[in-house]
A and B are shown apart, each in its own frame.
Chain A
Amino acid sequence: MALGDLGALEDLYDRYASFIYSFALRMVGESAASALIVEDTFTSAWHQADAIVGQPGTVRDWLVSHAHTTGIALVHQRRAGKGTEAARKADPAPEVGPEDQEDRELAEQRTRTQEAWSSLSREQKLILELAYFQGYTQDEIAPLALLPLSEVTQALVGALETLGTAAAMPLGGRPL
């Protein structure tokens, strides 16, 4: 892709677009904005290919970080304008079901992450949901979760340790 190969961009898109779209959908809750986030993420990856391509294990994280930053910025804008609910009603998430086809490595990582996720406590899941998918700060989360700030902080520490450990296990698939 760094050499300007559009086919490489298409391969990257085919592999991760659904993953990024689903992530964006979870953050912003409606399909048009999620599609825009996907479009921007992959266009930016093309634009910045020199910096991200050729480094094993990094492309997916780059895409996720990029989509997260963009999605949360949108969530924050909406929250400031109180437009989220109206937007969700105006353009709800698609009615189609989850995809069945997924590359083996992604499927393996998904299984691993979901196992790690299911091992988290209910509080940890709630706090991660509010922090990562909805863009709240831990100070804002504490009253929402009815927990002291110190417990919110410790929950995040433990949750990311668990997820990070699961992610760091050797992958059986091809390099990213």
Chain B
Amino acid sequence: MNSPHPEDALPAYALGALDLESAEQVHSHLSQCPSCRVLTLRALHGACTLPFSLAAYPVPPEVKERVVGRAKAIAGATEAAPEDAASEEPTPQAGNARIETPPRRRSLARVLIRGFTFLLPWAAAVVGWLAAGSLLLYSHGVSDRVRTTTDTYQGRIAGLTSQIAQTQALRGYLLLPRVAVEPLKNWISATSSTRVQLIRAPGYAHGIVIAHHLAPPPSGEQYVVWAETQDHVFQSLGTFITSRPDGDALLIVGAAQPLDRLLEVGISIEPTPGPTAPTSALLFTAALSTPTALPTRTPTAIPATESPTLAGAGATAAVRHRKGANPTATPAPR
């Protein structure tokens, strides 16, 4: 990419056909260049017509029943939803991959494959949600059917670049040779069924946070993923709200520097809109690198007698009494 504008790379970027490093370079450029963002949108829309080059085959009839059943479950209808059965059904690829995966990668593959039915909807949901904003923008770029304000336009452009970068990160991470899955320590209760994991790779600023059995935050609040720098400054890596009945969530996070140059990643419950630094205790943490000098740590772990499933009310009540304490000064224990 000698040109200041990587026009030639944009189609491959929109198709997801760049390696992760190149994709991050393009993403960085797109964040500064509106004209390249528009070109990327056009390429993306061209790509979305490709399925029309295929013959259409009928869908097995039971799929519609499952979709409607899951939609009813999401909507809170009283009818029984077949979601659990569907999501836990092993896919044929799982067995094959488990057999064929070389030993060194087996651990990651097992996590990813076991979690496939979990990752599948959530990875796609995250990307899809972000894609919505980006694709809406496209309608402004090539169609006169929709008129909008410049602010909205810019906001949707930002949605596009975010979506593509996160799509790239997600795809790329599944293939990176040294990617690792690390659990975040649960400071609520070691015996809780709530699990939070971070997928990251050396040298990369993006990572994937996966949560399982995480209770929804109280109304008006959200989970915020924080990174603590070597200078003990906190950066927000992203926010999410669990809304699925099973408490599963997936968030692709991005820091201003490679994750392995940061001290720690942690998650707290914060009001919406979020503050610039944690205002409550970090409920889940994981060390990202070996610090040069560990700060003094004051134990702030919530007793195990609190809600073992991080029920919103219990966890929040436990956090509330520490509101106002600056976690930068008294970070969560290791």
Determine the distance from Cα of A18 to Cα of B57 in the docked complex, in whole angstroms: 6
CB closest chain-B residue, reference A56: B145
Contact status A60-B17, CB under 8 Å: no
Chain A neighbourhood of B129, CB < 8 A: 44, 48, 51
Chain A neighbourhood of B145, CB < 8 A: 56-57, 175
A43 CB contact (under 8 Å) in B7, B45, B74, B174? B74
8 Å CB contacts to A: which residues of B20-55? Answer: 42-55
A52: min CB distance to chain B, Å: 4
Contacts A87-B93, A90-B92, A117-B53 known; A9 to B125 CB distance under 8 Å?
A: no
Q: In which size bucket is the chain A interface?
A: 35 or more
Contact status A23-B51, CB under 8 Å: yes
Chain A neighbourhood of B16, CB < 8 A: 68-69, 72, 131, 135
CB closest chain-B residue, reference A70: B124
A81: min CB distance to chain B, Å: 3
Check if B294 is an interface residue, CB within 8 A of chain A: no
CB closest chain-B residue, reference A158: B11
* Most chain A beta carbons < 10 A, residue from B12, B14, B49, B171: B49
Check if B277 is an interface residue, CB within 8 A of chain A: no
Q: Taking chain B's interface residues, is the majority helix, strand, or loop, or is none over half, making it mixed?
A: helix
Contacts A10-B64, A80-B174, A164-B43 known; A22 to B113 CB distance under 8 Å?
A: no
Contact status B18-A137, CB under 8 Å: yes
State which of B132-140, B181-189, B299-307 sits at the interface with chain A: B132-140
Contact status B113-A35, CB under 8 Å: no
B36: min CB distance to chain A, Å: 13
* Most chain B beta carbons < 10 A, residue from A13, A39, A136: A39
Chain B neighbourhood of A114, CB < 8 A: 52-53
Residue total for B at the interface (Cβ-Cβ under 8 A): 82
A138 CB contact (under 8 Å) in B18, B48, B86, B132? B18
Contact status A13-B57, CB under 8 Å: no
Contact status A39-B101, CB under 8 Å: no
B67: min CB distance to chain A, Å: 5
Check if B128 is an interface residue, CB within 8 A of chain A: yes
Check if A160 is an interface residue, CB within 8 A of chain B: yes
* Most chain A beta carbons < 10 A, residue from B50, B91, B96, B125: B50
25 sample A-B contacts, Cβ–Cβ < 8 Å, listed by A number: A9-B68, A20-B51, A23-B51, A31-B60, A43-B71, A44-B121, A44-B124, A47-B125, A55-B136, A55-B146, A62-B131, A62-B132, A65-B131, A67-B124, A70-B120, A74-B93, A81-B93, A81-B96, A94-B58, A112-B52, A113-B53, A137-B19, A167-B46, A167-B48, A167-B49
Point out residues on A near B: beta carbons under 8 Å. 4, 6, 9-10, 13, 17-23, 25-26, 30-33, 35-48, 51-52, 55-58, 60-62, 64-70, 72-74, 76-78, 80-84, 86-87, 90-91, 93-94, 96-99, 102, 106, 109-110, 112-114, 116-117, 128, 131-133, 135-139, 141, 153-154, 156-157, 159-168, 175
Give me 18 other A-B pairs in contact (C-beta within 8 A), A38-B67, A113-B49 excluded: A4-B75, A10-B68, A22-B55, A31-B60, A43-B121, A51-B129, A52-B135, A55-B136, A56-B145, A74-B93, A74-B116, A81-B109, A83-B97, A83-B99, A93-B57, A98-B57, A128-B15, A156-B15
